[in-house]
């Protein structure tokens, strides 16, 4: 059987798990191509217009997989990965949104409900509902989930040690971590270090964010993202808050941001957000307050469907200039 996985949303967080899981069940895994204008346009056309661009991209990626002779597209219903916290409702309704809202996807979606009390989503019960459609036994699922867990832990280890999720994926897939490591270190010693705060699907999709990671590296700026921090580090600053944000990943980002504002090695913080993201509007304001208190410069960059790269370039350059002058002239 051939299973398609859209290169969008939590692909950048869980793909190593899902790939290993399906492969352990003797399935072939196909990933949609890297985001391009064609994928975005398809996604926009098939989505309701008010929805955020990461969801539109997910839909575009799912449609693209239809050309790849897949049997099913795996669209999990992400419910919770932290007790008492939930995913943004768009994640919870994702399989239905695709099945019933997008032409051609009915009957092509395979789904299951993911509930867990931590980022580790390997509990086999999550995946039992797929056993019948996949034609496998519960025992096979148990084995596959544990194999997948190993892979995911390997990926996460690289990610947590400071590599981007995309690099970490390459490192476990090719077993050639050395090469990635070398490529990563080729550039000269970074002059600045910033916190790049954003959801994985915003910071790691170079099309959506007009390659912000590459732009920062060209300017010789090192960065740290929330997924590079340990869970305990993410929770530290928010566990005493009277009320946190509603959704799991928003809380992780908030925890990362609040922490980085107080990290002496961090020169500034950039918040990358997709237009129309509700939770981010709260978070952005909280970061503004934190910036005022700590004196650490902060900037929000909002991405959307438009492709004008000029404004992004100008903002990043100006922000980096400001940090450099502050650091080296003052």
Partner 1 sequence: MVKAYIGIDVGSVSTNVVAIDENANVLFNIYIRTNGQSIDSVKKGIESLKQQLDHRKYTISGVGTTGSGRQIAGVMVGADVVKNEITAHAVATTYFVPEVRTIFEIGGQDSKIIFIKDGMVVDFAMNTVCAAGTGSFLDHQSERLGISIEQFGDYALASKNDVRIAGRCTVFAESDMIAKQQYGFSKPDIINGLCQALVRNYINNLARGKKLEPPFVFQGGVAANSGIKAAFEKEIGHEVIIPSYFNVMGAIGTAILAKEEIQKTGKKTNFRGFHALQTDFVPSSFICQGCSNNCEVIKVKMNGQTVAMWGDRCGMWQEKVSQVVI
Residue numbers of the site for partner 1 (CB under 8 A)? Answer: 36-39, 206-207, 210-211, 288, 292, 297-298, 302, 304, 306, 308, 310-311, 313-315, 317-319, 321-322, 325-326, 329-330
Minimum Å gap between C-beta 216 and partner 1 is 15
* Token representation of residue 151: 């892979």
Residue number with CB closer to partner 1 (58 or 319): 319
Minimum Å gap between C-beta 168 and partner 1 is 23
Residue number with CB closer to partner 1 (68 or 100): 68
Minimum Å gap between C-beta 208 and partner 1 is 11
Burial of 235 (0-12, 13-18, 19+ CB in 10 A): middle
**What is the C-alpha separation between 145 and 18, in angstroms, rounded?**
9
Task: Give how far Cα 224 sits from Cα of 87, 256, 257, Å.
Answer: 23, 9, 10
**What is the C-alpha separation between 61 and 44, in angstroms, rounded?**
11
**What is the C-alpha separation between 209 and 122, in angstroms, rounded?**
31
Residue number with CB closer to partner 1 (84 or 308): 308
Burial of 221 (0-12, 13-18, 19+ CB in 10 A): buried
Backbone angles phi, psi at 275, to 5 degrees: -50, 135
Minimum Å gap between C-beta 274 and partner 1 is 13
Residue number with CB closer to partner 1 (231 or 275): 275
**What is the C-alpha separation between 57 and 305, in angstroms, rounded?**
10
- Is the Cβ–Cβ distance between 300 and 197 less than 8 Å? no
Residue number with CB closer to partner 1 (63 or 130): 63
Minimum Å gap between C-beta 158 and partner 1 is 26
Residue number with CB closer to partner 1 (239 or 285): 285
Residue number with CB closer to partner 1 (107 or 308): 308
33: left (phi over 0), alpha (psi -120 to 50) or beta: beta
Minimum Å gap between C-beta 324 and partner 1 is 10
Minimum Å gap between C-beta 198 and partner 1 is 17
60: left (phi over 0), alpha (psi -120 to 50) or beta: alpha
Residue number with CB closer to partner 1 (139 or 317): 317
**What is the C-alpha separation between 296 and 238, in angstroms, rounded?**
19
Task: Give the chain's radius of gyration (CA, Å).
Answer: 20
Three-state secondary-structure class, residue 3: strand
Minimum Å gap between C-beta 317 and partner 1 is 4
């Amino acid at each position: 059987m051939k299973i398609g996985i859209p290169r969008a949303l939590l692909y950048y967080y869980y793909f190593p798990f899902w790939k290993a899981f399906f492969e352990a069940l003797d399935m072939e895994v196909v990933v949609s191509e890297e985001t391009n204008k064609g994928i975005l346009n398809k996604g926009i056309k098939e989505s309701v217009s008010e929805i955020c661009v990461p969801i539109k991209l997910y839909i575009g990626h799912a449609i693209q997989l239809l050309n790849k002779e897949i049997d099913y597209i795996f669209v999990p219903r992400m419910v919770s990965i932290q007790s008492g916290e939930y995913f943004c409702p768009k994640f919870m309704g994702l399989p239905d949104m695709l099945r019933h809202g997008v032409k051609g996807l009915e009957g092509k979606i395979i789904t299951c409900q993911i509930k867990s009390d931590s980022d580790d989503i390997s509990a086999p019960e999550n995946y039992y509902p797929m056993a019948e459609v996949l034609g496998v036994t519960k025992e096979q699922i148990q084995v596959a989930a544990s194999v997948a867990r190993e892979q995911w832990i390997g990926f996460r280890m690289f990610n947590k040690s400071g590599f981007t999720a995309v690099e970490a994926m390459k490192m476990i897939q090719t077993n050639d971590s050395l090469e990635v490591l070398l490529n990563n270190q080729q550039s000269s010693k970074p002059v600045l270090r910033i916190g790049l705060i954003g959801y994985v699907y915003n910071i790691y999709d170079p099309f959506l964010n007009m390659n912000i990671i590459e732009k920062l590296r060209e300017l010789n700026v090192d960065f740290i993202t929330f997924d590079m921090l340990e869970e305990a580090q993410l929770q530290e600053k928010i566990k005493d808050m009277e009320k946190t944000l509603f959704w799991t990943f928003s809380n992780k980002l908030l925890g990362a941001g609040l922490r980085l504002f107080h990290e002496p090695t961090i020169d500034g913080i950039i918040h990358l957000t997709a237009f129309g993201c509700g939770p981010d509007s709260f978070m952005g304001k909280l970061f503004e307050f934190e910036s005022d208190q700590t004196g650490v410069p902060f900037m929000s960059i909002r991405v959307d469907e438009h492709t004008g790269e000029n404004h992004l370039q100008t903002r990043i350059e100006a922000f980096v200039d400001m940090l450099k002058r502050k650091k080296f002239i003052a």
